[in-house]
């Protein structure tokens, strides 16, 4: 995020400058780094003002809770992966053997109960068996046949393995669990705030032990070359384009610096010209960024500058 503030007096001076000199300040790209986890800060390895490289650790948050979540997610993923492997492999040979043995016993039991029912039916026809005994034998035979058929179905299912629908469900469960584990890993990584690019650590907004809320700015980097942000008066705006040469005079620096316009706003910053009087039109200004040549590493951000457009004199 770029700092866009300038004192009102500086703006008015720039707009009313009759010599066509643009006023402004030295600036640098400002990068705000925010907290992505609501955990306490446990380490600030670098001091404000330090030069940092991309990937340097700036802030470390307590990751105990996030580590536990990651462990749980990894365990859940391993569990469903094992289930998928089981579904693909199908039932174990021992289970098929056991079901086959149970089915043999059920077939024998059903045969015996059917034979007893047949005998009772013959005896009942001769008046030697009661209707209650006949009903009980019929129920027992029916139950034995149902048990035999159920075991036969289980044995067929075991031999055929999982259905396509069961395999698809197990596969989708694995994908969901893996995504959860990846999310937990990413969340844990957010407990380490790293510098995205090289630059200067401008500020640290929290101390060790504090718990910033998610989205709070915890560190600010200044990165990239220093440049001048100035307000170009209307009197010289028409002659300035990106690439136009400029001479920059910095407060406290004896020798002027050379530079060129790298960017200038398309629209004025104040009221559009058609709503102003002839006298007020001179108050219009356009925001411009001036690239400085030479070594600017020791120039502090925020110093006032004057920019005169054209070759250095």
What is the band of 10 on the pLDDT scale with cuts at 50, 70, 90?
very low
- pLDDT at site 273: 52
pLDDT in tens, 67-117: 999 999 999 999 999 988 888 877 777 777 788 788 888 889 988 889 888
CATH number of 8-62+197-309: 2.40.30.170
What DSSP designation does 39 have? -
Domain positions in the chain are 8-62+197-309, 68-185
Residue 196 backbone dihedrals phi, psi, to 5 degrees: -70, -30
Cβ burial, residue 156 (10 Å; 0-12/13-18/19+): exposed
Of 230, 190, 255, 312, nearest to 24 (Cα)? 230
Give percent of the chain with pLDDT exceeding 70: 87
Round to whole Å and give the CA distance between 273 and 280.
Answer: 8
- pLDDT at site 230: 92
Of 75, 86, 87, 90, nearest to 168 (Cα)? 87
| Strand blocks (E) in the chain | 22-34, 41-43, 51-52, 57-61, 192-194, 199-204, 217-233, 245-250, 257-264, 285-292, 304-309
- pLDDT at site 86: 80
pLDDT in tens, 13-49: 444 444 568 899 999 999 999 999 999 999 999 999 9
Round to whole Å and give the CA distance between 290 and 275.
Answer: 29
- Predicted model pTM: 0.63
Round to whole Å and give the CA distance between 130 and 136.
Answer: 10
DSSP H or E run through 119: helix 93-125
- Sign of the C-alpha dihedral computed for residues 175, 176, 177 and 178 taken in this order: positive
- Sign of the C-alpha dihedral computed for residues 233, 239, 244 and 250 taken in this order: negative
Q: Categorise residue 233: left if φ over 0, alpha if ψ from -120 to 50, beta otherwise.
A: beta
Residue 263's contacts (CB-CB under 8 Å, 6 or more residues apart) are 242, 288, 289
- pLDDT at site 280: 52
Checking if the pLDDT of 240 tops 80, the result is: yes
């Amino acid at each position: 995020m770029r700092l866009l503030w300038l004192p009102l007096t500086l703006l008015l001076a720039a707009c009313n400058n009759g010599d066509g000199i643009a006023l402004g300040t030295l600036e640098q790209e400002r990068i705000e780094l925010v907290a992505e986890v609501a955990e306490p800060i446990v380490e600030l390895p670098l001091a404000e003002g330090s030069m940092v490289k991309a990937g340097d650790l700036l802030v470390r948050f307590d990751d105990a809770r996030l580590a536990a979540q990651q462990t749980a997610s990894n365990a859940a993923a391993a569990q469903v992966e094992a289930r998928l492997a089981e579904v693909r492999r199908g039932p174990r040979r021992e289970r098929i053997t056991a079901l086959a043995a149970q089915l043999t016993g059920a077939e024998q039991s059903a045969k015996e109960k059917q034979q007893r029912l047949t005998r009772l039916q013959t005896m009942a026809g001769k008046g030697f068996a009661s209707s209650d005994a006949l009903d009980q034998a019929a129920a027992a035979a029916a139950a034995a046949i149902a048990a035999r058929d159920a075991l036969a179905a289980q044995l067929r299912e075991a031999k055929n393995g999982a259905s396509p629908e069961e395999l698809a469900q197990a596969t989708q469960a694995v994908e969901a669990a893996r995504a959860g584990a990846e999310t937990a890993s990413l969340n844990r990584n957010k407990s380490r705030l790293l510098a995205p690019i090289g630059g200067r650590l401008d500020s640290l907004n929290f101390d060790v032990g504090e718990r910033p809320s998610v989205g709070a700015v915890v560190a600010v980097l200044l990165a990239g070359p220093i440049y001048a942000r100035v307000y170009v008066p209307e009197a010289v705006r028409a002659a300035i384009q990106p690439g136009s040469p400029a001479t920059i005079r910095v407060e406290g620096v004896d020798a002027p610096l050379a530079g060129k316009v790298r960017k200038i706003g398309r629209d004025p910053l104040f009221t559009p010209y058609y709503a102003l009087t002839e006298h007020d039109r001179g108050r219009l200004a356009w925001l411009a960024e001036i690239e400085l040549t030479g070594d600017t590493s020791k120039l502090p951000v925020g110093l006032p500058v004057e920019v005169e457009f054209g070759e250095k004199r």
